[in-house]
């Protein structure tokens, strides 16, 4: 919310010319989300400090219905850090209030525009996603001397840990316009969120503002990715509304599982193995239960053997994504007859689950509480009763072999459980006994002598 | 001529073009009851006479007819209906929908039709067409009966048509107007002694008298009750004749109703002179009847012949059929309905005892009506999916059972001896699973649904809301068997005109006053997390009533149905404290129950909302303090230099102060939880116990009962402070306002104002069951630290409550309905439907600050 720029270039008051703001005046500009003030707490020949103070009104943000702000941002809670932190709002204010300085226009002191001058920048409460280290990695290659401090989040509750907000001081000898362009791009990149939708225009902005320096920055990939990211953290979807004050797993999911398993390409491997098995069993129709965004479906569709392919997922959003990925909207009638999707649940009996030769549950069961597996079991094996059911799930014993996975932790924070091979086999054999199926188990991925494969599969077959 | 037409039937008009079918239909039926082929031809082709569109047009006629009949509406098909093929399709539809097909033939003299035809300009065909149709009509008339029309009316002249009167008649099975109370009695099978004992146990006075008067019995029913026999009066047992005498006497004097069982039907067949197999006890029955005078046997014949196969009673809430009945057959009439009602559903397969395999229709039953039936002997009668099999095999040495309705209790007497051996061993119940298998069906929750509640409200759940709730329910909620209730949302007060306050008790008082509620109960509002507690006297009680085994003495779940405690051991510890208090307060005896459901607040807030506190509340406080301190110093420096900073320093100081207050308030709701006694549980509603939903008790009752319980476990249970306020008494109101002020100037969240009674209806419908009034300080956590600044207050004063209040009423109705259904032992799907509805409504996008 507060940015100060101090210089000891002499005469220091030339800073007023560079910024196009008179050092003796308190100037205010009204912006869509609040007011921006520019004033000088210090202005003499030796040193001059300009302050850009941003007053964001979160209640105004809430009540303002016809703004360019994204719906999700508007619906965010009134209790919001935005009014108090340096965020993409500050970048917008730099562009709107200090635009000429940012673009290197200065009628009165044109020579100063490209001249390196000693500058000291202070930012209050800068949210840094990823910790202090990121701050150094982003600013130091550009020549800054970086100082950053943060405090305990709440002194009454030391167990809550440190604050994610830093009080930052940057020192550099550089033309002012460059510094402003650094701030413009790096503040939202550090925060890793934006208050507006990221559109094509945003890429253009990044190219413009970062023209001179971004291509040589060692962290340019991270900067670009973060800058262009519109993070869903503000998203108050219907789901979030429901889980309200409880921790929503979606919210905290950085998909660790994918990162862990990526090197061995386990994801593709699992799909490949499931398809191989199903092909052998001369299955003609198949339903992918928990199809997610449709990765397995895409593979299944390629196989001529499968005449009817259906995907189901509990997440309505995933079903929509899968629909897009499979280009179903504009598909011809034969394709539509062959491939279909629906939103449903594995804990409710559903007519639409019936009539398939095979069902696949790839990495699905571990996302349900163990207490609800009984319902899943009845729905799939007793009610829908496909001839073949392929189920895959992680092998917990293998977790010790993953680097970067703390001991005792599961691979994904939505996993309700992860089973060892023995536990998996016990469950599967029990299900098979209850419902007249036979079982066959397969390791998925490279097999370790002691811990087995990272993932495991069982193929159930309905006894004749 | 009087045309008697059953009020649910398919009426086919038959007649040549120009015979006046449409005019007749218009005269005697609602325009919406008539489906015309011409009209449908127009719909699909823009031309009512376009014969090429006939196939599509008839598809449409049939489609509409099916939909109407399925919904229980009489339908008249206005087409010539001269082709046998076309009529066959209508008969088929009538059978499939279990309604009676009726034919009304307009057999006008040919001259009349030809004359009419020549005057019409909209019929582009020649007279020869009429001639053809005439021939077809001749052939048709003689065939109608054979084709399956159950009533056929032929109007032979204009005069007959003009004088025709359509009289709608009730079906024989329609006894909706009889509301009971009933004593429904299972298969008697000639066991006269047990029947007399059972009836006496139920309070009937039975006197034997001369055989000539009312078949030898005089029966008086207790306080307006009616006995209702589910059939199979005869065969196998010792005295079919006596049972017939007693039942016929009761039916004659109006103390009983009786429906036909398969054994009764078979006896009837025999008496009608048909050739039937004498096995399964019929031979003995005939022997017993041979001792009776001829005249009595004649009357038996009439009695049996007049028995119908099922009754729909009590406004459609109760259905009685000998072998049970699927929902789509209730109140319908067809051969299939009669056959199902008497014999049940079979597939033709036989079991190892050579008896037909019966399909367990009750397993899939999802209907609203309670279906009571017999036919299949079981060891014990019990409710299953809103059905009850009350044949407890008296004749096989079991029991004779009655179901008291609406009490829903079973009364049995043991057989005095075994009179016959069953063809196959008697099962525990009709189903393979003894209780609800706990499986829910997606159609019970998805799509746009309308839920009818006891309070007479229909609550509509929009489809998109159900979609959002499905994932939460499937992936995050605990087992649906636990979820017998979810708390409704609550609206705050209207905006206060007082400058300093957004919410103030006065607004709640004047709201209730405007709805005629002059007494309200104010309760302290605890700042924790809403929690529903299900608790049993022991694990066995939970297993018996909730069908959940091995999960302890109960559970605690959040307002979205999630487990409150991830740590099961901790949960059970909290519950054990609660249970001890209930034991010591003699709660179980007092309420005559072994389980209870409480609506509570569980503190501290930080226990559940740790993440929210850290990531949002503490984070905002931390960022704000650091920033505002810096802003203050920078502004002060500028001011020192003589810059006119436009009052911004004072403004910043005010903001800083607001932040300090904000940080104080959230801290008040946080404390570390190390042992179970760090939790505080504050119950405020005793929602339900065995047989009772306590919404008929006022809030003072709830509070007092709860205070008694809390006194027994003060370490963990927190009694809620409350007061009764008289809205006609200024002093009483002022004192309440002062109380609220004191609470909220401390660290209290505020209070909840409720009408004296739990549920209040007035001429404008249901009154808000509660209104919250939050304190000035607490609202900083809702509207942000700086909401009290003048500009902000001005904006916030524009808030609207309409949507929130509508939601509150809907969710409240559903919550009570869910509990009622649970207490009435309705099937899981019926309870779940309501609970799911509440969750779905909660996904509605309303201002989360309300």
pLDDT, position B429: 55
pLDDT, position A79: 80
pLDDT for A75 beyond 60: no
Over residues A18-34, mean pLDDT: 90
User: Which segment of A449-453, B137-141, B358-362 scores lowest on mean pLDDT?
Assistant: B358-362
pLDDT, position A245: 41
pLDDT for B435 beyond 50: no
Residues of A with Cβ-Cβ distance to B446 under 8 angstroms: 344
Cis peptide before B604 (omega within 30 of 0): yes
For the four alpha carbons of A226, A227, A232 and A236, in that order, the dihedral sign comes to positive
pLDDT, position B457: 77
On whether any CB of chain A is under 8 Å from the CB of B798, the answer is yes
The yes/no answer to whether this complex scores an ipTM above 0.90 is no
Over residues B73-102, mean pLDDT: 93
Both tokens assigned to A123? 């930012």
Instruction: Give Cα A184 distance to the centre of its chain.
Output: 21
pLDDT for A246 beyond 60: no
Contact flag A154-B782 (C-beta cutoff 8 Å): no
Contact flag A85-B467 (C-beta cutoff 8 Å): no
pLDDT for B656 beyond 70: yes
Residue of B nearest to A239 (CA): B468
pLDDT, position A242: 45
Closest-CA distance, B782 to chain A, in angstroms, reads: 7
Mean pLDDT of chain A: 85
Residues 6+ apart with CB under 8 A from B815: B485, B486, B487, B488, B834, B838
Q: For residues A419 and A426, what is the distance between their CA atoms, to the nearest angstrom? A: 10
Query: Please, which residues bridge with residue B228 across strands?
Result: B184, B257
Residues of A with Cβ-Cβ distance to B479 under 8 angstroms: 371-372, 375
CA distance to A331, B81, B538, per residue, from B544 (Å): 53, 58, 10
pLDDT for B827 beyond 50: yes
pLDDT tens profile A343-370: 999 999 999 999 999 999 999 999 999 8
* Closest to A90 measured CA to CA, from A178, A195, A231: A195
pLDDT band at A213 (very low <50, low <70, confident <90, very high): confident
pLDDT for B455 beyond 80: no
pLDDT for A231 beyond 60: no
* Closest to B267 measured CA to CA, from B277, B257, B258, B259: B277
Q: For residues B823 and B727, what is the distance between their CA atoms, to the nearest angstrom? A: 35
Q: Which residues of B770-807 are buried (b: 16+ CB within 10 A; e: fewer)?
A: bbbbbbbbbbbbbbbbbbbbeebbebbeebebeebbeb
pLDDT for B609 beyond 90: no
pLDDT, position A61: 66
Looking up tokens 């300080």 gives B777
Mean pLDDT of chain B: 90
Both tokens assigned to B545? 């009533």
Preferred mutation among B364, B620, B664 to probe A, highest tally of A CBs within 10 A: B620
Residues 6+ apart with CB under 8 A from A384: A287, A350, A353, A354, A356, A359
Over residues B434-453, mean pLDDT: 78
CA distance to B488, B564, B847, per residue, from B811 (Å): 5, 21, 17
Preferred mutation among B476, B617, B628 to probe A, highest tally of A CBs within 10 A: B476
Both tokens assigned to B640? 């020192």
pLDDT band at B430 (very low <50, low <70, confident <90, very high): very low
pLDDT for A253 beyond 70: no
DSSP string, A34-95: EEEEEEEEEESSS-EEEEEEEEE-HHHHHH-TTSSS-HHHHHS-SS-SGGGS-SHHHHHHHH
Closest-CA distance, B199 to chain A, in angstroms, reads: 43
Q: What domains does chain A contain, in order, with CATH numbers?
A: 2-236 (3.30.1610.20), 257-462 (3.40.50.150)
Query: Beta-carbon neighbour count of residue A86 at 10 Å?
Result: 28
For the four alpha carbons of B544, B546, B547 and B548, in that order, the dihedral sign comes to negative
Rg of chain A over all Cα atoms, to the nearest angstrom: 28
pLDDT tens profile B4-59: 999 999 999 999 988 889 999 999 999 999 999 999 999 999 998 888 999 999 99
Cis peptide before B406 (omega within 30 of 0): yes
pLDDT tens profile B490-500: 999 999 999 88
pLDDT for A436 beyond 90: yes
Q: Which residues of A209-234 are buried (b: 16+ CB within 10 A; e: fewer)?
A: bbeebbeebebeebbbebbbebeeeb
| Cβ pair B172, B308 in contact under 8 A | yes
Q: Which of B470, B617, B645 comes nearest A345 by C-beta?
A: B470
Over residues B780-793, mean pLDDT: 85
pLDDT band at A229 (very low <50, low <70, confident <90, very high): low
Q: Which residues of B359-395 are buried (b: 16+ CB within 10 A; e: fewer)?
A: ebbbbebebebbbbbbbbbbeebbbbbbbbbbbbbbb
pLDDT for B580 beyond 60: yes
pLDDT, position A200: 64
pLDDT, position A65: 46
Residues of A with Cβ-Cβ distance to B475 under 8 angstroms: 314, 367-368
On whether any CB of chain B is under 8 Å from the CB of A438, the answer is no
Over residues B610-629, mean pLDDT: 87
pLDDT, position A256: 63
On whether any CB of chain A is under 8 Å from the CB of B445, the answer is yes
pLDDT band at B576 (very low <50, low <70, confident <90, very high): very high
pLDDT band at A236 (very low <50, low <70, confident <90, very high): very low
* Closest to A274 measured CA to CA, from A80, A460, A433: A460
Preferred mutation among B437, B438, B439 to probe A, highest tally of A CBs within 10 A: B439
Query: Beta-carbon neighbour count of residue B213 at 10 Å?
Result: 10
pLDDT, position A251: 38
Residues of A with Cβ-Cβ distance to B472 under 8 angstroms: 239, 242-243
Closest-CA distance, A27 to chain B, in angstroms, reads: 9
pLDDT, position A62: 61
User: Which segment of A158-162, A289-293, A419-423, B189-193 scores lowest on mean pLDDT?
Assistant: A158-162
Residues of B with Cβ-Cβ distance to A78 under 8 angstroms: 782-784, 787, 849
pLDDT for A243 beyond 60: no
Residue of B nearest to A165 (CA): B623
Both tokens assigned to B513? 């006053």
Residues 6+ apart with CB under 8 A from B550: B539
Residues of B with Cβ-Cβ distance to A79 under 8 angstroms: 616-617, 620, 781-782, 784-785
Contact flag A40-B641 (C-beta cutoff 8 Å): yes
Tell how many helices (H) and how many strands (E) occur in chain A: 18, 15
Cα–Cα–Cα angle for B403, B407, B412, nearest 5°?
A: 30
Looking up tokens 């994204």 gives A70
Over residues B332-344, mean pLDDT: 89
On whether any CB of chain A is under 8 Å from the CB of B785, the answer is yes
Dihedral-angle region of residue A239 (phi above 0 means left; psi in -120 to 50 means alpha; beta otherwise): alpha
Contact flag B787-A78 (C-beta cutoff 8 Å): yes
In angstroms, the first-to-last Cα distance of chain A is 71
pLDDT for A239 beyond 70: no
DSSP string, B373-426: E-SS-BSS--EETTEEE---BGGGTSEEEEEEETTTEEEEEE-SS--S--SSPP
| Cβ pair B469, A242 in contact under 8 A | yes
| Cβ pair A75, B848 in contact under 8 A | yes
pLDDT tens profile A303-317: 889 999 999 999 988
């Amino acid at each position: 919310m507060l940015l100060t720029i101090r210089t000891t270039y002499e005469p220091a008051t030339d800073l007023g010319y560079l910024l196009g703001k008179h050092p003796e005046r308190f100037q205010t500009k009204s912006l869509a989300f609040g007011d921006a003030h520019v004033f000088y707490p210090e202005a003499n020949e030796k040193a001059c400090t300009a302050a850009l103070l941003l007053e964001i009104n979160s209640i105004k943000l809430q009540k303002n219905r016809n703004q360019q702000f994204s719906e999700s941002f508007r619906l965010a809670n009134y209790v919001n850090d935005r009014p108090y932190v340096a965020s993409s709002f500050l970048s917008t204010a730099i562009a709107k209030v200090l635009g000429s300085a940012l673009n290197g226009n200065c009628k009165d002191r044109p020579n100063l525009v490209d001249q390196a001058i000693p500058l000291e920048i202070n930012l209050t409460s800068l949210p840094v996603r990823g910790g202090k280290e990121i701050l150094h990695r982003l600013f130091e290659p550009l020549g800054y001397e970086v100082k950053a401090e943060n405090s305990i989040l709440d002194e009454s509750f030391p167990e809550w840990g440190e604050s994610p907000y830093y009080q930052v001081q940057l020192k550099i000898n550089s033309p002012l316009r460059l510094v402003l362009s650094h701030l413009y791009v790096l503040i939202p990149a550090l925060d890793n969120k934006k208050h507006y939708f990221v559109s094509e225009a945003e890429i253009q902005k990044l190219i413009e503002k970062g023209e001179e320096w971004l291509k040589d920055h060692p962290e340019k990939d991270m900067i670009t990715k973060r800058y262009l990211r519109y993070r869903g953290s503000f998203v108050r979807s219907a789901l979030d509304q429901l889980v309200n004050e409880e921790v929503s797993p979606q919210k905290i999911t950085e998909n660790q599982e994918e990162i862990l398993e990526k090197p061995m390409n386990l994801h593709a491997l699992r799909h490949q193995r499931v398809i191989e098995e199903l092909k052998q069993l001369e299955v003609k129709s198949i339903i992918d239960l928990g199809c997610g965004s449709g990765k397995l479906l895409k593979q299944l569709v390629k196989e001529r053997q499968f005449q009817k392919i259906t995907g189901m997922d509990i997440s309505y959003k995933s079903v929509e994504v899968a629909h897009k990925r499979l280009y179903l909207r504009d598909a011809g009638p034969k394709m539509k007859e062959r491939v279909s999707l629906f939103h449903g649940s594995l804990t409710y009996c559903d007519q639409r689950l019936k009539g398939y030769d095979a069902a696949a549950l790839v990495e699905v069961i571990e996302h349900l509480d163990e207490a609800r597996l009984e319902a899943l079991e009845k729905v799939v094996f007793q009610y829908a009763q496909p001839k073949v059911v392929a189920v895959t799930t992680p092998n917990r014993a293998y977790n010790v072999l993953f680097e970067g996975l703390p001991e005792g932790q599961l691979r994904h924070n939505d996993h309700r459980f992860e089973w060892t091979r023995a536990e998996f086999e016990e469950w599967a054999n029990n299900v098979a006994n209850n419902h007249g199926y036979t079982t066959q188990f397969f390791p998925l991925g490279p097999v370790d002598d002691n811990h087995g494969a990272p993932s495991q599969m069982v193929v159930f077959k309905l006894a004749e | 001529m009087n045309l008697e037409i059953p009020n649910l039937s398919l009426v086919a008009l038959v007649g040549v073009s120009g015979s006046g079918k449409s005019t007749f239909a218009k005269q005697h039926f609602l325009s919406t009851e008539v489906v015309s082929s011409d009209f449908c031809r127009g719909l699909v082709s823009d031309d009512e006479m376009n014969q090429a569109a006939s196939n599509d047009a008839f598809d449409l006629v049939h489609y509409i007819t099916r939909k109407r009949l399925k919904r229980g509406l009489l339908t008249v098909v206005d087409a010539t209906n001269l082709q046998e093929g076309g009529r066959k399709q209508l008969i088929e539809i009538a059978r499939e929908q279990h309604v009676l097909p009726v034919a009304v033939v307009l057999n006008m003299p040919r001259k009349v039709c030809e004359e009419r035809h020549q005057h019409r300009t909209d019929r582009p065909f020649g007279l020869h067409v009429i001639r053809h149709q005439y021939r077809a009509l001749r052939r048709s008339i003689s065939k109608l009966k054979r084709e399956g029309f159950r009533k056929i009316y032929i109007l032979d002249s204009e005069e007959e048509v003009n004088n025709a009167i359509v009289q709608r008649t009730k079906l024989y099975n329609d006894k909706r107007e009889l509301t009971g109370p009933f004593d429904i009695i299972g298969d008697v099978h000639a066991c006269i002694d047990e029947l007399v004992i059972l009836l006496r146990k139920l309070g009937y006075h039975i006197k034997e008298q001369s055989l000539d008067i009312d078949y030898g019995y005089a029966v008086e029913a207790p306080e307006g009750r009616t006995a209702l026999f589910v059939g199979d009066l005869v065969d196998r047992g010792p005295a079919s004749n006596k049972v017939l005498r007693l039942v016929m006497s009761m039916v004659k004097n109006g103390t009983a109703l009786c429906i036909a069982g398969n054994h009764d039907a078979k006896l009837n067949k025999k008496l009608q002179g048909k050739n039937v197999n004498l096995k399964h006890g019929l031979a003995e029955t005939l022997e017993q009847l041979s001792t009776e005078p001829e005249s009595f046997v004649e009357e038996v014949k009439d009695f049996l012949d007049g028995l119908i196969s099922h009754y729909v009673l009590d406004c459609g809430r109760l259905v009685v059929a000998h072998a049970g009945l699927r929902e789509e057959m209730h109140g319908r009439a067809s051969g299939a309905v009669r056959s199902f009602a008497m014999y049940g559903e079979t597939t033709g397969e036989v079991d190892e005892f050579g008896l037909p395999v019966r399909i367990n229709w009750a397993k899939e039953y999802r209907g609203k009506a309670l279906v009571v039936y017999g036919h299949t002997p079981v060891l014990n009668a019990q409710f299953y999916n809103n059905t009850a099999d009350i044949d407890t095999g008296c004749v096989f040495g079991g029991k004779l059972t009655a179901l008291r309705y609406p009490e829903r209790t079973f009364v049995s007497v043991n057989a005095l001896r075994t009179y016959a051996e069953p063809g196959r061993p008697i099962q525990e119940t009709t189903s393979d699973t003894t209780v609800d298998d706990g499986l829910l069906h997606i159609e019970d929750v998805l799509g746009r649904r309308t839920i009818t509640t006891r309070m007479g409200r229909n609550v509509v759940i929009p489809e998109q809301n159900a979609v959002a709730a499905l994932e939460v329910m499937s992936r995050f909620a605990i087992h649906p068997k636990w979820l017998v209730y979810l708390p409704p949302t609550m609206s705050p007060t209207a905006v206060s005109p007082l400058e300093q306050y957004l919410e103030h008790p006065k607004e709640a008082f004047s709201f209730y006053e405007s709805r005629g509620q002059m007494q309200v109960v104010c309760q302290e509002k605890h700042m924790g997390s809403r929690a529903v507690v299900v608790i049993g006297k022991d694990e066995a009680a939970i297993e018996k009533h909730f069908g959940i085994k091995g999960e302890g003495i109960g559970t605690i779940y959040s307002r979205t149905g999630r487990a409150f405690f991830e740590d099961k051991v901790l949960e059970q510890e909290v519950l054990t404290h609660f249970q001890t208090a209930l034991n010591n307060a003699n709660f179980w005896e007092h309420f005559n129950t072994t389980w209870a459901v409480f609506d509570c607040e569980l503190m501290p807030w930080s226990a559940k909302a740790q993440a929210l506190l850290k990531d949002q509340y503490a984070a905002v406080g931390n960022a704000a303090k650091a920033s505002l301190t810096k802003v203050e110093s920078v502004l002060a420096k500028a001011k020192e230099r003589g810059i006119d900073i436009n009052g911004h320093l004072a403004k910043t100081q005010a903001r800083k102060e607001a932040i300090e207050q904000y940080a104080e308030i959230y801290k008040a709701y946080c404390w570390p939880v190390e042992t179970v006694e760090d939790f505080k549980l504050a119950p405020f509603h005793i929602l339900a116990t065995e047989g009772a939903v306590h919404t008929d008790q006022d809030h003072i009752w709830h509070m007092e009962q709860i205070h008694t319980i809390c006194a027994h476990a003060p370490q963990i249970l927190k009694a809620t402070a409350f007061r009764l306020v008289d809205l006609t008494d200024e002093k009483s109101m002022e004192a309440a306002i002062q109380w609220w002020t004191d609470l909220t100037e401390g660290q209290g969240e505020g209070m909840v104002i409720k009408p004296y009674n739990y549920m209040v209806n007035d001429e404008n419908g249901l009154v808000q069951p509660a209104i919250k009034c939050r304190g000035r300080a607490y609202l900083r956590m809702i509207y942000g630290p700086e909401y009290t600044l003048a500009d902000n207050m001005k904006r916030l004063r524009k808030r609207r409550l309409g949507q929130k209040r509508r939601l509150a009423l809907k969710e409240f109705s559903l919550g009570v309905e869910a509990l009622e259904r649970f207490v009435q032992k309705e099937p899981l799907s019926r309870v779940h439907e309501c609970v799911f509805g509440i969750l779905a409504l909660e996904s509605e996008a309303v201002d989360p600050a309300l």
